Amino acid sequence: STKPNNIKTEKKVITQQKSQRGGKSGISKAEIFEEMNSIQTQIREDLTRQIKIEIQEEINQQFSTFSEESEKIHSEKNNLIKTEIDQEYTNIVKQEVKKSEELIKRDLINVVHLELEKKIDQGISSLKDEIFQEINTKVEEAVKVQLQTSLKPVKQSLEQSLQDIMDEE
């Protein structure tokens, strides 16, 4: 709190007024009251101005402190939100990875199952072909043997007839 400089100015004015009257000290009471009122008014105005300045400085300081605190709170809030978002993102990624792993496992199992079915079907088909081939071969052999057996008397008879014809000639 600085004292107003205007008090010195008021003293100078009174001193000048004395010298203008030729050094007489005969100032009337009305002039003294008028000067005192003027000085009091000046002091009030100076004090009011000074108090306003101090109040404004205090307001500025409080606002600055508030701004710093507000910024700090805002920053902490953002950090908390970021941490929460990072945690949520991590959880979502973990869930998606797990789902993907399960889908890949299921797909692999399906692919392996289908491949096994194909190989089994191919094996069965190949086995059927081999069995049919073997059956056909045995049937052909059996038919040959059967034919040979059943045709043997006919052959012998024909051969005998041929022999008989040859002998007659």
Query: What integer pLDDT is reported at residue 2 of this predicted model?
Result: 47
* DSSP summary character for residue 21: T
The verdict on pTM exceeding 0.75 is: no
Mean pLDDT within 110-117: 92
- Tell me the HSE value of 95 on the side-chain side, using a 13 A CA sphere: 6
Contact call for residues 50 and 2 (beta carbons, < 8 A): yes
* Residue position matching structure tokens 């096994």: 116
The average confidence (pLDDT) of the chain is 85
Q: What is the pLDDT of residue 93?
A: 93
| Angle, vertex CA 160, rays to CA 159 and CA 161, nearest 5 | 90
Tokens for 110? 């399906």
Mean pLDDT of 12-27: 57
Q: Report pLDDT for 169.
A: 78
**Cα 12 from Cα 105, distance rounded (Å):** 102
Q: Extract the tokens encoding 39.
A: 């000085």
